[in-house]
Amino acid sequence: MTVPGSDKVFSGSVARLYESLLVPLIFEPYAADLAQRVAERPVRRVLEVAAGTGVVTRQLAARLPAAVEIVATDLNPPMLAMAAEIGTSRPVDWRAADAQHLPFDDGSFDAVVCQFGVMFFPDKARAFAEARRVLRGGGAFVFSVWDRIETSEFAHVVTQSLEALFPDDPPRFLARTPHGYHDVERVARDLALGGFTTRPRIETIAARSRAASARQPALAYCQGTPLRNEIEARDATRLAEATDHAERAVVAQFGPGAVDSGILAHVLSVER
Q: Quick check: 188 and 124 in contact, CB under 8 A?
A: no
User: Going by C-beta distance under 8 Å and a sequence separation of 6 or more, which residues neighbour residue 62?
Assistant: 35, 88, 89
| Residue 76 main-chain phi, psi, to 5 deg | -100, 110
Domains and CATH numbers, the chain: 5-271 (3.40.50.150)
Angle at 196 between CA 191 and CA 200, to 5 degrees: 65
Positions in the chain short of pLDDT 50: 1-2, 6-9
Which 8-state DSSP code applies to residue 99?
T
CA dihedral 158, 73, 145, 176 (to 10 degrees): 40
C-alpha distances out from residue 195 to 119, 135, 142, 191, 192, Å: 18, 12, 15, 7, 5
CA distance linking residue 58 with residue 19, whole number of Å? 13
Say what the pLDDT of residue 265 is: 98
pLDDT of residue 230: 95
pLDDT of residue 2: 47
Q: Please state, in angstroms and rounded to a whole number, the distance separating the CA atoms of residues 170 and 216.
A: 21
Helix, strand counts (H, E) of the chain: 11, 7
CA 179 to CA 162: how far, in whole Å?
A: 16
pLDDT, residue 10, reads 56
Report pTM: 0.93
